[in-house]
Structure formats: C-alpha cells, structure tokens
Structure 1
Amino acid sequence: MDKQAILDALAEEIVKEKVCSDLADQATQLVMGDGNPDADIIFIGEAPGKNEDLQGKPFVGAAGKFLDEMLKSANLQRSDVYITNIVKYRPPNNRDPLPEEKRQFWPYLLRQLEIIQPKAVLTLGRHSGGGFIPGLQIGKEHGHPRKVRLHELEFVVIPLYHPAAALYNGGMRQTLIDDFIQAVEFVKNNSGA
C-alpha cells in the first residue's frame, strides 16, 4: 500500500472510532491533511477553520494564502510538503483547541508522522509547537531547530509563528517569512535533499 492509501485508511479509522465526537458532530468533515505523503517537511497547525472545514483541506483560508506565499518565497509549493493540524475537526467559532481535543488526536498525528517520515516538522503556532516542545515560548524560540524524540520517532522540530499572526500584526510578516526561509534552508542543508 502506498503512503496516501495508508493515510486515507487512518482518516477512516478516526471517523469510525468517533475521535472527538463532540467536535465531529458540529463539523462539516474531517480535515486530515494535504500535500505530498513523501515530503521531507510537514507543517502542523492547530485546527481547521471555517474554510478548511468546508473544503476538507488544511490552510485554505487567509492564513493558508499567506502560507502559500511563504512556500513560494522558499521556492516550494504545496505539492512539495505535507500540511496537517493536531486537531482534525473545526472547533466551534474557531476557538483554540482544548487540551483534551489535542490529547485525543495526538496518537493519530504521531501515526501520520510515522507514515510520512519527514526530515523536519515545522509547527505553526504555539498550540502545535507546544505539543512537541513542552513549555515552548514561541516569542523566544521561533525559528530555532530542535531535535525531538517521540517514541520511536526522531526528527527536527522548528517552531514558527502561526501564519494568522502576520494577518493580525503586519510587523510579524517579515519575521515569519525570514524564519520560514531559514527553516527550509536548514532542512535542505541537513537532509541531503
């Protein structure tokens, strides 16, 4: 079975197992992930928003457009990377995912990582980054690579601000682009890619 088929089966399992059924009941659909299942880089956000819930793909709203712009700045496109979220259903009113919701989805996220086998995980926002780096202070640690070991998996995690932060604070836009380009360069230079 190819990686995409395995990821599709994992998505079916999440629905069948009724993971976060309260969230599932008010969401349009599961938003599993999108992109290249053989990617060296995986982006992990927090949870789908309204547009993601409607289209079934992560980062397709305003923050997604900025993510596309960041990819382009590093000579990448969505088909070069894989994009997902910790929580796979939209929380009501785009509220932050609750600790229990993140906990329920965590084993499935780890399985996604096992399947994809990325060289680096670029977390988007403090909820995502904090899952991999306990006590993360995004303001101090953004853009700094860290080796992380989770169970049998070891990879580089590079915490980044969430693209939405640049939409609310235009001054962060360049910081995010700079961190992003540096992160992609780091992965290329340290993975033989």
Structure 2
Amino acid sequence: MSDPTRFDLDDRQRAMLAEMGVRVWWPPTAHESVQAEPVQTPAMTQAPSVPRPQRPAASATSSEQKATAATPSGVASKPLPEGVSNMDWDSLQAAVKACQSCALSAARQTPVWGAAAAQADWMVVGDLPLPEDDQQGLPFTGPEGVLLDNMLKAVGVRRQGLPPAQGQAPWVEAYLTCAVKCRPPAGRNPEATELAVCAGYLSRQVALAQPKVILAMGRFAIQSLLGSTEPMGKLRGTVHDFQGVPVVVTYHPTNLLRTPADKAKAWADLVLALKVAQA
C-alpha cells in the first residue's frame, strides 16, 4: 500500500531542489543501482500531516480599523480610502498607488502591488519590497525572486501570469505580494503603524485572490497575517488561519540566501503548504 503522506519527486522537481541547494533522499529508480547508499541530509521527503488551523488571537477583520492609527509625528498622512474592503482589483491597485496613509509614501519609488490581479490557488506574502522591487513595482525580483521561483517550481507552483511552456501541462499559480507595499528608507524595519496601514490592503487582496493556502515568508508577513511576534521556530509546522484561509509560515528568500542551511526547513514548509492546498 502506498504511503498517502509521501511526496514523490520527479526529475523536474529534483532539478529545482538542486537549484535551491537542497539535497534530499529518494528511492532508487529503475536506472539506479539498488545498492546505492542514500544521501543523509536533514531535508524531508515526506509531507507532514496537516495540523488543525490555528486562528490568531486578534481578528483579521480589524485591519482597516488598525490602519487609522496615527503615523509618526511630523509626517502628514491621510486615512485609508473608504470602502477598501469592497474594492475590486483595479480600484484597490489605484488606492495602493495613491496611498499617503503613512510615512513610507514619501520615500518610495513605486508601490509594490503584486504580480498580476486574479484568483490563485496559492498566495505568497513576503516582508518588505526589495531594492529591485521598489524600482520595478513587482514583488520578489532579483536573486531572491530566482530562489523563490525555484522553490515554487519544485512543488509544481509558479508565479501568476507566466505562459506555460509548449507541450507542458498548466502549472498551479501563485499570487505574489508583500505585507508592506512601500519599501522603507534604507530598508529599515517597518513601524507597527505602517504595517497596520498595509494590513488593510493585504486583507482585501486575500479576499479577492481567494487562495487555498497562504505562504507567509518572513516575520513581517507573519505579523501582518497572524498578529504574532513569536519566533519562527514556534510557528513553523503548524497550519494557521487568516480570514478562513490556511496559512503556512516559512523563511523569506533573503534569509535563505544568507543562511542556506535553513533551505531544508523551507522545503518541509513548502511540502506542508502543498498538502494543505491539495486537501
């Protein structure tokens, strides 16, 4: 009897994991020697069982109310536009581009809205726009974007809007965005009030995208979605909840590039997210 929790890897997924820098063990194929010794690594080749979603202590419906908090002193600000919770994609994008509700609007180059605007099975939420993101107005560009693309491809997922290769079955698509829409000056950490402003926009993006799973990458994405400042180690491996959507937390690609040893943990998180999306 086959193991229902097993995640078998095809040649494409093995190649993508190699691009991630993650080595995993798999049983020998018909072309491989049965006597071959398995590679011993900390990476997982079995999907963990899907835990019951854990709801955050604070209600996600309060995002717009939080966004009315005062911005740092001396900075002119405006409240979020009325009706954010009822906006369509076009109206929401226009609101983000014109937003002046916190101090970050004064220093940004281009608000990082998201990659495409449509429903998707996966939603990937990062922390802050990277320098390249700030220039292009797109999330997860540069080396971090390359790593993320390889991570997603390893589980049959890719960012929204890319045409399938000729003769290739359609991929599961992921809607990509950032918790903070404007890059803070010099990449500093966002203030709590700045996170609260963008939480109103993020909440509406989730409602419009209607994902089956949200992958929260990094502590500010986690804080925006779950209202939690717990260490990553206490939040990983558990399915959380945001507006009724399962949330799996993992490391941001920037951290994975800085600490490659954590890629094996990120692989386990991806497999958990895949199990949730397929449930």
TM-score range, shorter chain: 0.7 to 0.9
- Displacement of 1:117: 1.4
Paired residue type of 1:168: R
- Displacement of 1:46: 1.3
User: Hey, what does 2:66 align to over in structure 1?
Assistant: none
Answer yes or no: is the 8 Å Cα contact 2:129–2:180 preserved in 1.
yes
Answer yes or no: is the 8 Å Cα contact 1:143–1:183 preserved in 2.
no
User: Hey, what does 2:108 align to over in structure 1?
Assistant: 27
Report sequence identity in percent.
29
Instruction: State whether structure 2 residue 248 is matched by structure 1 residue 158.
Output: yes
User: Hey, what does 1:167 align to over in structure 2?
Assistant: 257
Paired residue type of 1:14: V
Q: Which has the higher helix share?
A: 1
Paired residue type of 2:241: K
Q: Which has the higher strand share?
A: 1
Answer yes or no: is the 8 Å Cα contact 1:36–1:81 preserved in 2.
no
User: Hey, what does 2:241 align to over in structure 1?
Assistant: 147
Q: For residues 60-108 of structure 1, give each alpha carbon's deviation from its aligned partner in whole angstroms, at most 9, with x where no partner exists.
A: 1222111111011111111211011111011111122221110111111
- Check 1:36–1:176 CA distance in 2 against 1; reply closer, same or farther (3 A cut): farther
- Comparing 84-93 and 132-141, the one that deviates more: 132-141
- Displacement of 1:8: 2.8
User: Hey, what does 1:38 align to over in structure 2?
Assistant: 119
Paired residue type of 1:183: A
Answer yes or no: is the 8 Å Cα contact 1:35–1:81 preserved in 2.
no
User: Hey, what does 1:69 align to over in structure 2?
Assistant: 150
Alignment partner of 1:87 out of 175, 180, 203: 180
* Alignment: residue pair count: 180
Answer yes or no: is the 8 Å Cα contact 1:74–1:184 preserved in 2.
yes
- Comparing 7-16 and 53-62, the one that deviates more: 7-16
User: Hey, what does 1:120 align to over in structure 2?
Assistant: 213
Stretches of structure 2 lacking an aligned partner (at least 5 in a row):
1-86, 161-172
Alignment partner of 1:6 out of 71, 88, 93: 88
Matched residues in 2 for 1:14 and 1:165: separation? 27
Matched residues in 1 for 2:93 and 2:237: separation? 30
Matched residues in 2 for 1:166 and 1:141: separation? 17
- Tell me how large the CA RMSD over aligned residues is: 1.8
Answer yes or no: is the 8 Å Cα contact 1:143–1:180 preserved in 2.
no
- Displacement of 1:58: 0.2
Paired residue type of 1:59: F
Answer yes or no: is the 8 Å Cα contact 1:42–1:81 preserved in 2.
yes
Instruction: State whether structure 2 residue 274 is matched by structure 1 residue 184.
Output: yes
Answer yes or no: is the 8 Å Cα contact 1:73–1:181 preserved in 2.
no
- Check 1:16–1:170 CA distance in 2 against 1; reply closer, same or farther (3 A cut): closer
Q: For residues 24-62 of structure 1, give each alpha carbon's deviation from its aligned partner in whole angstroms, at most 9, with x where no partner exists.
A: 222111110114621011111111011001111000122
Alignment partner of 2:97 out of 15, 18, 21: 15
- Displacement of 1:140: 2.4
Paired residue type of 1:64: G
Matched residues in 2 for 1:117 and 1:126: separation? 22
Q: For residues 135-191 of structure 1, give each alpha carbon's deviation from its aligned partner in whole angstroms, at most 9, with x where no partner exists.
A: 43212222421234xxxx311111111111111111112211231133123211x1x
- Displacement of 1:122: 1.1
The structure number with the bigger radius of gyration is 2
TM-score normalised to the size of structure 1? 0.85
TM-score normalised to the size of structure 2? 0.60
Runs of 4+ in 1 over 4 A off after TM superposition: none
User: Hey, what does 2:198 align to over in structure 1?
Assistant: 105
Answer yes or no: is the 8 Å Cα contact 2:134–2:182 preserved in 1.
yes
